């Protein structure tokens, strides 16, 4: 009796920067499918392109996966996860294996050496393009004699190895897309080993999937046509055929493919716009907010001269600030920084391309693992709708227990707003977080919207502008004749006499409510807004009693006095 095949999925990113949302969704589905079948999920780093790989980048990927709650059974070791019997899990460390398989192919006549230079091929490719036909390798190397090949190899002539296609059409069976037949003439003798001795993606993937016993290849649709090549390679090597499931691409609202390059695209557009106004601005990187160059000069020059070069996260961020543009969130890490919850991101990503039916939209990873069906994965590309993501995030935040929100907000702050956390006593932070909970759409809102809490009392940042002073403090109320300023003055006196032990929302509420009833015809807004402006410099903050008590009594009174003086001066 044949053994029941274990489900083995793999997520195989190339280590170029952080994990982006499309990759995250692939990983999530791989994880869910493996869990559903009690199988294994492998993470494999496809670092066969020496120019584009870095160790730091692969670690970034792993951190992103962990944060999303996606754990792997085999793969690089990271914080207690990883390892396994089929390693190493970096392709750059598996060259011996690839070479063995390559030799097998050459010996069997399924692969051959070719010596054209990239430049020569490029010329032929361009000619084909000019004639509006698809370029196919012309197999010139096949007419070389054994002696000629041996001589060239002996002379260390740069050589690639190409796969000799058998010349028949290939039918792909896809769990999502169904069957598709690729005609024979569409598949040419593709390179399987590069001149630098590294395998190409096609070759390494096929070899690793076999030796790692992968049963289900789940990846993005951009790989769909490649599948034919992989199948041919499997046949030539006598390998098993995994099941394939290609999922749709995730797009920007404009329909273009959502890509890591989008950040650089945004920056390049802004730089170009600036340069057309002042051409000399290209010479040096724009100065950041602190006056120093936003990007190092060498990086700047390289970035300008090559459109394929991407800026690292910090440089891109500083340049964006200098140019006053907002970078789109593309990578998982971007969404993390923006204060999205990992479980919400997973939920939303899964929903872009899969649905359990029955009008169910909100679910967790466990639910996904239980209900995912490959044939229910959407065939069409989805546009990534940030507004809906935000709405999901808002629901998740407002729906969680108060204590959980405070803890998560603090963790987010410790990660990304160390200054804020350090500037505030723990108790005050808890009070602020509690007061901000129900109006927070993201974890980030708490910090972005409450800078007044950590600003110095005399900071210009919390000084109201003239328009606000005029509207909130100086305009008189036709109903009572009072102004914001008069309320503020009266309130300052009242608050100054309250005992220190009453400096909490519960004690202050009746006092201020009573004042509003008496002096503002019960219109709390007439009283609350002037206080809010005095304390925060702006017209938006948590409920007024909380806003009052987050600061110590003395500092709150000082801010009120300060604004009274300011308004009187005007």
Partner RNA sequence: GGCCCCGUCGUCUAGCCUGGUCUAGGACACCUCCCUUUCACGGAGGCGACACGGGUUCAAAUCCCGUCGGGGUCACCA
Write the binding mask 72 to 91 for RNA: x where contact by CB under 7 A, - elsewhere: --------------------
Q: Which of 148, 312, 395, 414 binds RNA (CB under 7 A)?
A: 395
Q: Which is nearer to RNA, 323 or 455 (CB)?
A: 455
> Taking the complex as a whole, how short is the minimal distance between the CB of residue 67 and RNA, in angstroms?
21
For residues 403 and 401, what is the distance between their CA atoms, to the nearest angstrom?
6
Q: Which of 59, 123, 127, 134 binds RNA (CB under 7 A)?
A: 134
Regarding 408 and contact with RNA (CB under 7 A), the answer is no
| Tokens found for residue 42 | 């492998």
> Taking the complex as a whole, how short is the minimal distance between the CB of residue 276 and RNA, in angstroms?
26
> Taking the complex as a whole, how short is the minimal distance between the CB of residue 34 and RNA, in angstroms?
20
Site for RNA in 143-202 (CB under 7 A): 158, 160, 177-183, 186, 190-191, 194-196, 198, 200-202
Q: Which of 9, 450, 486, 529 binds RNA (CB under 7 A)?
A: 529
Q: Which of 77, 99, 398, 459 binds RNA (CB under 7 A)?
A: 398
The burial class, CB within 10 Å (0-12 / 13-18 / 19+), for 304 is middle
Site for RNA in 234-253 (CB under 7 A): 248-249, 251, 253
The burial class, CB within 10 Å (0-12 / 13-18 / 19+), for 452 is buried
> Taking the complex as a whole, how short is the minimal distance between the CB of residue 164 and RNA, in angstroms?
15
Judged by CB under 7 A, which stretch of 276-284, 288-296, 314-322, 524-532 contacts RNA? Answer: 524-532
Q: Which is nearer to RNA, 248 or 266 (CB)?
A: 248
Judged by CB under 7 A, which stretch of 59-67, 408-416, 480-488, 522-530 contacts RNA? Answer: 522-530
For residues 41 and 138, what is the distance between their CA atoms, to the nearest angstrom?
40
Q: Which of 222, 403, 419, 458 binds RNA (CB under 7 A)?
A: 222
Among 326, 322, 336, 370, which Cα is nearest to 350's?
A: 370
For residues 328 and 325, what is the distance between their CA atoms, to the nearest angstrom?
9
Q: Which is nearer to RNA, 202 or 410 (CB)?
A: 202
The burial class, CB within 10 Å (0-12 / 13-18 / 19+), for 405 is buried
Q: Which of 147, 289, 358, 427 binds RNA (CB under 7 A)?
A: 358
Site for RNA in 257-286 (CB under 7 A): 257
Write the binding mask 498 to 517 for RNA: x where contact by CB under 7 A, - elsewhere: -----------x--------
Stretch (H or E) spanning 445: helix 443-448
| 516: three-class secondary structure by DSSP | helix
Site for RNA in 539-558 (CB under 7 A): 539-545
> Taking the complex as a whole, how short is the minimal distance between the CB of residue 473 and RNA, in angstroms?
14
CA 455, distance to chain mean position in Å, is 30
Give the gyration radius of the chain's Cα atoms.
31
> Taking the complex as a whole, how short is the minimal distance between the CB of residue 338 and RNA, in angstroms?
16
Q: Which is nearer to RNA, 92 or 213 (CB)?
A: 92
Q: Which of 302, 373, 383, 555 binds RNA (CB under 7 A)?
A: 383
* Residue 367 CB partners (closer than 8 Å, separation 6+): 356
Q: b/e for 114-141, b at 16 or more Cβ within 10 A? A: bbbeeeebeeeeeeeeeeeeeeebeeeb
Specify which residues 8 forms β-bridges with.
40
Q: Which of 376, 422, 555, 568 binds RNA (CB under 7 A)?
A: 376
For residues 486 and 484, what is the distance between their CA atoms, to the nearest angstrom?
5
For residues 464 and 468, what is the distance between their CA atoms, to the nearest angstrom?
6
224 and 246 Cβ atoms separated by less than 8 Å: yes
- Number of residues in contact with RNA, rule: CB under 7 A? 89
Judged by CB under 7 A, which stretch of 100-108, 321-329, 345-353, 461-469 contacts RNA? Answer: 345-353
For residues 294 and 327, what is the distance between their CA atoms, to the nearest angstrom?
15
Sheet containing 160-163: give its strands across.
Answer: 111-114, 160-163, 191-193
Judged by CB under 7 A, which stretch of 1-9, 127-135, 139-147, 549-557 contacts RNA? Answer: 127-135
DSSP 91-131: GGG-HHHHHHHHHHHHHTTSEEEE---HHHHHHHHHHHHHT
> Taking the complex as a whole, how short is the minimal distance between the CB of residue 294 and RNA, in angstroms?
28
Q: Which is nearer to RNA, 52 or 274 (CB)?
A: 52
Q: Which of 9, 26, 215, 226 binds RNA (CB under 7 A)?
A: 226
Regarding 450 and contact with RNA (CB under 7 A), the answer is no
* Residue 228 CB partners (closer than 8 Å, separation 6+): 170, 172, 182, 186, 187
Q: Which is nearer to RNA, 430 or 445 (CB)?
A: 445
> Taking the complex as a whole, how short is the minimal distance between the CB of residue 167 and RNA, in angstroms?
15
Q: Hey, what's the torsion of the CAs at 529, 434, 363, 341, to 10 degrees?
A: 90
For residues 120 and 138, what is the distance between their CA atoms, to the nearest angstrom?
12
Site for RNA in 22-61 (CB under 7 A): 46, 48-49, 52
Q: What angle do CA 27, 29, 34 make, to 5 degrees?
A: 95
> Taking the complex as a whole, how short is the minimal distance between the CB of residue 361 and RNA, in angstroms?
5
Q: Which of 255, 401, 478, 481 binds RNA (CB under 7 A)?
A: 255
Q: Which is nearer to RNA, 271 or 462 (CB)?
A: 462
């Amino acid at each position: 009796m044949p053994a029941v095949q274990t489900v083995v999925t793999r997520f195989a990113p190339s280590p170029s920067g952080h994990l982006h949302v499309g990759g995250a969704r692939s990983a999530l589905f791989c994880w869910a499918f493996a869990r559903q079948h009690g199988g294994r999920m492998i993470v494999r780093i496809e670092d066969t392109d020496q120019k584009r790989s870095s160790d730091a980048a692969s670690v970034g990927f792993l951190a992103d996966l962990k944060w999303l709650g996606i754990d792997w059974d085999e793969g690089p070791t990271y914080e207690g996860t990883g390892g396994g019997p089929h390693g190493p899990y970096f392709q750059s460390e598996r060259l011996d294996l690839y070479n063995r398989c390559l030799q097998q192919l050459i010996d069997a006549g399924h692969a051959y050496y070719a010596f054209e230079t990239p430049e020569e091929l490029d010329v032929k490719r361009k000619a084909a393009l000019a004639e509006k036909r698809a370029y196919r390798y012309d197999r010139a190397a096949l007419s070389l004699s054994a002696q000629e090949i041996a001589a060239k190899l002996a002379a260390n002539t740069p050589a690639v190895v190409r796969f000799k296609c058998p010349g028949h059409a290939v039918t792909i069976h896809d769990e999502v897309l169904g069957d598709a037949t690729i005609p024979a003439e569409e598949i040419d003798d593709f390179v399987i080993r590069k001149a630098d001795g590294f395998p190409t993606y096609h070759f390494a993937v096929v070899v690793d999937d076999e030796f790692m016993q992968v049963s289900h290849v789940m990846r993005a649709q951009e790989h769909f046509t490649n599948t034919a090549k992989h199948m041919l390679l499997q046949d030539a090597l006598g390998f098993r055929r995994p099941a394939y499931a290609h999922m749709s691409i995730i797009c920007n609202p404009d329909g273009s493919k959502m890509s890591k390059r989008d950040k650089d695209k945004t920056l390049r557009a802004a730089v170009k716009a600036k340069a057309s106004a002042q051409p000399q601005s290209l010479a040096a990187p724009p100065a950041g907010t602190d006056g120093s160059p936003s990007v190092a000069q060498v990086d700047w020059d390289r970035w300008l001269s090559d459109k394929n070069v991407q800026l690292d996260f910090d440089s891109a961020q500083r340049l964006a600030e200098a140019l006053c543009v907002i970078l789109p969130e593309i990578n998982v890490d971007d969404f993390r920084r923006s204060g999205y919850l990992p479980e919400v991101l997973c939920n939303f990503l899964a929903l872009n391309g899969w649905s359990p039916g029955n009008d169910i939209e909100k679910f967790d990873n466990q639910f996904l693992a239980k209900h995912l069906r490959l044939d229910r994965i959407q065939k069409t590309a989805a546009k990534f709708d940030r507004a809906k993501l935000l709405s999901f995030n808002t629901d998740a935040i407002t729906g969680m227990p108060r204590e959980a929100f405070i803890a998560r907000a603090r963790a987010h702050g410790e990660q990304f707003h160390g200054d804020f956390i350090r500037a505030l006593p723990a108790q005050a932070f808890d009070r602020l977080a509690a007061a901000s909970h129900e109006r927070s759409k993201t974890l980030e809102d708490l910090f972005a919207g409450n800078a007044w809490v950590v600003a110095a009392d005399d900071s210009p940042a919390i000084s109201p502008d003239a328009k606000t002073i005029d509207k909130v403090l100086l305009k008189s109320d036709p109903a009572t004749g009072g102004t914001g300023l008069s309320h503020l003055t009266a309130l300052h006196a009242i608050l100054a006499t309250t005992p220190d032990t009453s400096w909490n929302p519960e004690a202050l509420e009746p006092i201020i409510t009573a004042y509003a009833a008496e002096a503002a015809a019960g219109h709390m807004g007439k009283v609350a807004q002037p206080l809010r402006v005095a304390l925060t410099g702006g017209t938006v903050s948590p409920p007024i009693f909380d806003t009052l008590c987050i600061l110590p009594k003395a500092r709150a009174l000082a801010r009120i006095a300060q604004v009274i003086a300011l308004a009187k001066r005007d």
